[in-house]
Chain A
Amino acid sequence: MDLDSLFSCFASTSCVITQTTSGFIIGMLLFLVAVGLTLIFGILKVVNFSHGVFYMIGAYLALTVYQTTGSFPLALLAGGFGAALVGLAIERAFMSRIYGANPLMQILVCYALILIFDDLARLIWGGDFRSMGMPDVFQVPPVFIFGGVAPPYYIFVIAVAAAIAIVLALVIARTRFGKIVRAAAHNPAMVSALGINTVAIYALVFAAGCLLAGLAGALAAPVRTVSPGMGFSILIESFIVTVIGGMGSIAGALVGALLIGMLRTFGALGFPLFNEGLMYIFMVMVLVIRPSGLFGKEAA
């Protein structure tokens, strides 16, 4: 425990700004993964324990594409859509068979997928830690706000994630597709009786969730190490985010992700060794006070 450095940070504006910026980037990356998880759960009623796999796939694809082509935008697109394609294949081949199956079966299939894809990543990219390096565009001096450091790349990631959050909210609230998706979440039998193809909707939603996770992985590649086990730690964090925010709620995923982001950066100062533990304790506190999460509707 190192509470002194936590308190001395709070005493200086520059430190608070620096920590908040890193809290934001952690939070926003988490949001992209968690929102897919929460959408898939809300509509497909399946907890995708293998969601981290798509984050990992996004990161590796971005890494490879960036290293071969040197184009970062192309790397982002490859990460996102590559993960979506793999997601679509997985949904058709495996996930679609376990909708409505008992949770034991769902967990088991996801567990198998994690094992398989972590090993596939090792087979293709090797087991060691890889890093992509900061793209040239962003190799410019950081922005200073009140003496706090905000690297341009962080600002870029935060902007991208915020834009996605807004688009997602608009799609779900305003479009016909959003309406169908909400209806399918509520009563799939009715929606398919109306002649709407729920199978296609489910596949699309699953692929969309994977796209967001893959994009998050691609965005994370320049600032994090890329390794076969990277999907699982982000999965656990996204679960915590969805538990805190409330399963199925997009706003909850955003708020939960930012809370965890801040907890991680400030917690790292005060409790360097038990930083992860803080997250679990925070989650337990939320569960005890509000079992359905901050934005959850029905009691869990």
Chain B
Amino acid sequence: MRALSFSRALALAAIVLGLLFALLSTTANHALMDFVIRLASLAIFATSLNLLAGYGGMVSFGHGMFYGFGAYFFALTMQRAGVSIPVAIVASILGSALLAAIVGVICVRLKEIYFSFVTLAFQMLIHATILAAMPLTGGDQGLRGGVPRPPFLGLNLSNQKQLCMFSAFLLIVCLFAMHHVVSSPFGATLRMTRDNADRAAYLGIAVDRVRLKAFIIAAVFASIGGLLQALFVSGAYPDFAYWTVSGEGIFVIMLGGTTTFLGPLLGSVLMLLLNDFVSRFTEYHGLALGSVILVVALGLRKGVGDFVVDWLSARSEADASERTKTTEAAS
């Protein structure tokens, strides 16, 4: 499937953002605004995991480490350095890129399932480090005392509505940027290394370097998802860096579908709705969620988004053959 052209993607992003702003400016519904913020955080994270796992074939089971790292790094920078929010965001991006470069150099050489659990081990290392570095991170109590949110450019993120708009803005910008990456020559090369790394090497492609770059890019966006969460809850907790974040990410991209760019966004919406629904009815959250996952994974065998796309393309093919028949009959 050919990607949207640059100008069309840009136009689409602008229109969606405009509609979102219009919708949000009229609402005073707190639940809806919270939903948008949580969605932005989860969808940016999940789309970045899909960039790595879906487009790059690198199934990380430790991608949540960058989510947690982003949250802590951002919250700590805000608490300790007293800089403005955009500066702290840029610092978090650089920090997570550096971490990803170190972890990535070791991991990208590994094949399939080895890659999965070595990334998981790194996630647990980050988690253990957060618990151990008590004076800095607050250990298992989490980072408390709130994340300061000084106004910038006329934006006051302590205001829920403004934070919500800012989240929507970040979501659209990150999705647009990641879409641009996957539709660039780099994106095509990344898919080549996923499909057939050996043949890609015969075309002169430095497979490990391409994989490392993708790993770093995905980590940067995951950290943006994390820092948005830190802004939302005004703190950072070890759970943000726990392995379940990675497991949830994998579920979200499988739920929404890995073969379409927006699948993870759809998966995030479904996941949040499911979470809210489940926690309303039972305290055995894992039991309910796990059962749904088994049904989707083993029953559907592909994401909801993939399902829709396959159905649409099957229908359009049927249409096409129908048309050919009609023309043949006419002639």
Direct A–B touching in the complex (beta carbon < 8 Å)?
yes
A residues within 8 Å of B by Cβ? 41, 47, 49, 94, 97-98, 102-109, 111-116, 118-120, 122-123, 232, 236, 239-240, 243, 247, 273-274, 276-277, 280-281, 283-284, 287-288, 291, 300
- Is A107 a contact of B298 with CB atoms below 8 Å? no
Known A108-B254, A111-B293, A118-B286; judge A277-B117 contact (CB<8 A): no
- Is B118 a contact of A287 with CB atoms below 8 Å? yes
Q: Mark B59-93, 1 if CB is under 8 A from A, else 0.
A: 10100000000000000000000000000000000
What is the minimal beta-carbon distance from A238 to any residue of chain B, in angstroms? 10
A277 to B126, CA, bound (A): 8
24 contacts between A and B (CB under 8 A): A97-B298, A105-B297, A107-B250, A108-B251, A112-B293, A113-B290, A115-B287, A115-B290, A116-B287, A120-B287, A122-B284, A236-B120, A236-B124, A239-B117, A240-B121, A243-B117, A273-B131, A274-B132, A276-B124, A280-B124, A284-B106, A288-B106, A300-B110, A300-B114
Q: Mark B270-314, 1 if CB is under 8 A from A, else 0.
A: 000000000000001111011101100110010000000000000
- Is A104 a contact of B124 with CB atoms below 8 Å? no
Contact residues, B89-133 vs A (CB, 8 A): 106, 109-114, 116-118, 120-122, 124-125, 128-129, 131-132
Contact residues, B27-68 vs A (CB, 8 A): 53, 59, 61
What is the minimal beta-carbon distance from A120 to any residue of chain B, in angstroms? 7
A-B contact count (CB 8 A): 125
Q: Nearest chain-A residue to B292 (Cβ)?
A: A112
B294 contact set on A, CB distance < 8 A: 94, 109, 112-113, 116
A112 to B250, CA, bound (A): 11
A276 contact set on B, CB distance < 8 A: 124-125, 128, 132
- Is B289 a contact of A115 with CB atoms below 8 Å? yes
- Is A119 a contact of B287 with CB atoms below 8 Å? yes
A277 to B112, CA, bound (A): 24
What is the minimal beta-carbon distance from A195 to any residue of chain B, in angstroms? 30
- Is A274 a contact of B112 with CB atoms below 8 Å? no
One of A104, A120, A291 near B109 (C-beta < 8 A): A291
B residues within 8 Å of A by Cβ? 53, 59, 61, 106, 109-114, 116-118, 120-122, 124-125, 128-129, 131-132, 134, 243, 247, 250-251, 253-254, 258, 284-287, 289-291, 293-294, 297-298, 301
One of B114, B120, B125 near A277 (C-beta < 8 A): B125
- Is B128 a contact of A47 with CB atoms below 8 Å? no
Q: What 7 pairs between A and B have smallest CB-CB spacing? A: A115-B290, A116-B290, A115-B286, A280-B125, A112-B293, A119-B287, A119-B286
What is the minimal beta-carbon distance from A84 to any residue of chain B, in angstroms? 21
A243 contact set on B, CB distance < 8 A: 114, 117-118, 121
What is the minimal beta-carbon distance from B118 to any residue of chain A, in angstroms? 7
- Is B125 a contact of A112 with CB atoms below 8 Å? no
A257 to B175, CA, bound (A): 44
B59 contact set on A, CB distance < 8 A: 102-104, 107
- Is B128 a contact of A277 with CB atoms below 8 Å? yes
A300 to B106, CA, bound (A): 12
Best-surrounded residue of B112, B118, B122, B258 (most CB of chain A within 10 A)? B118
A277 contact set on B, CB distance < 8 A: 125, 128-129, 132
One of B110, B120, B290 near A291 (C-beta < 8 A): B110
Q: Nearest chain-A residue to B125 (Cβ)?
A: A280
What is the minimal beta-carbon distance from B83 to any residue of chain A, in angstroms? 29
Best-surrounded residue of B113, B284, B291 (most CB of chain A within 10 A)? B113
- Is A104 a contact of B250 with CB atoms below 8 Å? yes
- Is A108 a contact of B293 with CB atoms below 8 Å? yes
Q: Nearest chain-B residue to A106 (Cβ)?
A: B113
